[in-house]
């Protein structure tokens, strides 16, 4: 699954266009490397997102096939650091 779509589906970022913009500005890292929105993710990857006032680091536990419910979204990743 693409990085921008995963960020939207997991609700780490609310909209896919915002996920694209954040990735393009270099504030999203996958396994320690800056990532573009089209980066393909796999289970076990670590994502670090630098918001304006905080940094969030998560580990991907599951890659969904489609959209998921609000209740199921937090089960896609494990929060490592906030």
Torsion angle in degrees (nearest 10) through CA of 12, 27, 30, 20: 60
pLDDT tier, 36 (very low <50, low <70, confident <90, very high otherwise): very high
pTM: 0.89
Instruction: Quote the mean pLDDT of the chain.
Output: 91
> Tell me, what's the pLDDT at 47?
94
- The CATH number given to whatever domain includes residue 32 is 3.10.290.10
**Count of structural domains within the chain:** 1
> Tell me, what's the pLDDT at 65?
87
Cα 75 from Cα 36, distance rounded (Å)? 24
Q: What is the mean pLDDT of residues 47-52?
A: 91
Cα 59 from Cα 18, distance rounded (Å)? 21
Domain of residue 37: give its range. Answer: 3-81
């Amino acid at each position: 699954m693409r990085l921008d779509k995963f960020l939207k589906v997991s609700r780490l970022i609310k909209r896919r266009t915002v996920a694209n913009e954040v990735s393009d500005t270099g504030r999203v890292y996958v396994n320690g490397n800056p990532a573009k929105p089209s980066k393909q993710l796999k289970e076990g990857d670590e994502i670090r997102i630098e918001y304006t006032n905080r940094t969030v680091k998560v580990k991907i536990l599951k890659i969904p096939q489609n959209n998921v419910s609000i209740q199921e979204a937090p089960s896609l990743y494990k929060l490592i650091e906030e």
